[in-house]
């Protein structure tokens, strides 16, 4: 290993998650990665959480309705508080951003909405990050913000 682990971690964290002084495409990349990790963490918790709808980890055959219902109610009441609701609002933002920006990345992967190659001139804006792609990026931020507002209304009913 050429690099020590601590140096590798530092390089990764600043390289991935600190897009200051870089262009907008780098911000899109950092946010895509952060939102991906956040939604993955939510997915793991969600699989465990929804597992409780049939009674939890130890249940591997069909349980009684009463047993499953009691476990699920307890789970739902445990999760129904401002802490987890706020978490869901953040996840909603992340998920919406990741979805629309992911569609932009999918289009780019298949060569759609790419700028035409041309001579690099000042101010050296990347041709790959075309106007249409910028528009989709801002659309993803807008959609994410709208989702967060919608989630705020669902969980708190604007009663903060």
Partner 1 sequence: MLLHYATGLGIVVAGGVHLFTVFLTGPYVQNLAFSSVMMVYRNILLAVTLELLLVFVDYHALNGVRIILIEFHQGTTWERGVSWVLAVAGVLLLIYGTRTILIANALA
Q: Return residues touching partner 1 (CB under 8 A).
A: 1, 8, 12, 16, 33, 36-37, 39-40, 43-44, 47, 50-51, 53-54, 57, 59-63, 65, 68-69, 72-73, 76, 80, 99, 102-103, 105-106, 109, 154-155
**Smallest separation (angstroms) from partner 1 to the CB of 129:** 19
Q: Where are the alpha helices (DSSP H) in 18-114?
A: 24-51, 65-79, 82-109
Give the rounded distance of the alpha carbon of 87 from its chain centre. 12
**Could you tell me if 130 and 113 are in contact, meaning their C-beta atoms sit under 8 angstroms apart?**
yes
24: Cβ–Cβ under 8 A, 6 or more apart, which residues? 129, 134, 137
Q: Measured from the CB of residue 102, what is the shortest distance to partner 1 in angstroms?
A: 5
Nearer to partner 1, 1 or 160 (CB): 1
Residue 41 tokens read as 């963490």
In the complex, the smallest distance separating the C-beta of residue 43 from partner 1, rounded to whole angstroms, is 5
Which are the contacts of 133, defined by CB distance < 8 A and separation ≥ 6? Answer: 104, 107, 108, 113
Residue among 1 and 20 whose Cβ is closer to partner 1: 1
The residue (of 108 and 132) whose beta carbon lies closer to partner 1 is 108
Tell me whether residue 41 or residue 120 sits nearer to partner 1 (CB atom). Answer: 41
The smaller minimum CB distance to partner 1, of residues 27 and 155, is found at 155
Q: How far is the CB of 157 from partner 1 (least distance, A)?
A: 10
Q: How far is the CB of 106 from partner 1 (least distance, A)?
A: 5
Cα-based distances in Å from 62 to 58, 66, 93: 11, 12, 36
Token representation of residue 139: 């659309």
């Amino acid at each position: 290993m050429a690099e020590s682990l601590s140096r590798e971690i530092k390089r990764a964290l600043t390289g991935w998650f600190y897009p200051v002084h870089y262009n907008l495409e780098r911000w899109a990349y950092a946010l895509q990665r952060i939102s991906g990790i956040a939604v993955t963490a939510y997915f793991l918790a969600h699989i465990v959480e929804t597992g409780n709808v049939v009674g939890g980890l130890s249940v591997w055959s069909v349980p009684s309705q009463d047993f499953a219902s009691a476990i699920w109610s307890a789970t739902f009441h445990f999760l129904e508080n401002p802490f987890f609701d706020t978490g869901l609002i953040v996840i909603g933002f992340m998920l919406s951003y990741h979805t629309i920006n992911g569609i932009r990345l999918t289009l780019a992967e298949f060569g759609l909405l790419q700028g035409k190659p041309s001579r690099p001139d000042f101010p050296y804006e990347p041709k790959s990050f075309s106007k249409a792609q910028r528009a989709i990026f801002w659309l993803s931020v807008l959609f994410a913000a709208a989702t967060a507002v919608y989630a705020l209304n669902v969980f708190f009913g604007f009663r903060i």
